[in-house]
Amino acid sequence: MNLKIGYARVSTIGQDLETQKDLLEDAGCEKIFVEKVSGTSRENRVKLREALDFLRPHQGDELVVTKIDRLARSVFDLHSIANDLENRGVNIIFLKEGLDFSTSNGKMMFTMLGAISEFEADLIRERTKEGRERAKKQGKHMGRPGRSEKDIRRALKLYDEKETNGMSIMDIVRTTGVPKATLYMKLRQRNK
């Protein structure tokens, strides 16, 4: 009996996997591999490797993914995965695009949509880089918002009194909201 194996992925913690899991369950997937990791490379995608290893060669198994860009973000990587699975006799189905890799039309559309997905990802990276550079030129702060000087002074005071107040560094961090790295940096600056 052939198996339908699902693979779901989101790039960031804020994204939701539930919709993908629901779609994969509705498609009849018996087992679903889920991860929250960037799709730019296969290196750190443990659950993808597990899903690919779980699929049995030449048994009619299918890998079901909600969208092409959930499987990979580059045409090269998409083709590498697809060719490996095809050589093992495993079919790929992409639900959103309605693609079945076992057909000639499916393979052609797969290549075209994969190229478009890669193009979109490149555009996003390009726009993000341009936005960062523009913000830096305008003198805007990049990264997490900094803590107020009042919070930092309070953290330093608590640090100085830690022998008497019994607070650890982590207690000070939790109490003041000043990150540990910031506290240590300010301590180094003060001690110079």
Contacts of 52 (CB under 8 A, 6+ apart): 63, 81, 84, 85
Distance CA 102, CA 94 (A): 11
Distance CA 45, CA 155 (A): 39
Q: Which residue pairs, CB below 8 angstroms and at least 24 apart, start in 168-177? A: 176/147, 176/151, 176/152, 177/147, 177/151
41 part of the active site: no
CB 16 within 8 A of CB 10: yes
SS3 8: strand
Tokens representing 104 are 């000639």
Residue of 11, 41, 102, 168 marked active site: 11
Dihedral pair phi/psi, residue 74, rounded to 5°: -130, 150
- Paired sense of beta strands 31-36 and 99-100, if any: unpaired
Contacts of 182 (CB under 8 A, 6+ apart): 146, 147, 152
Which active-site residues does the annotation give? 11
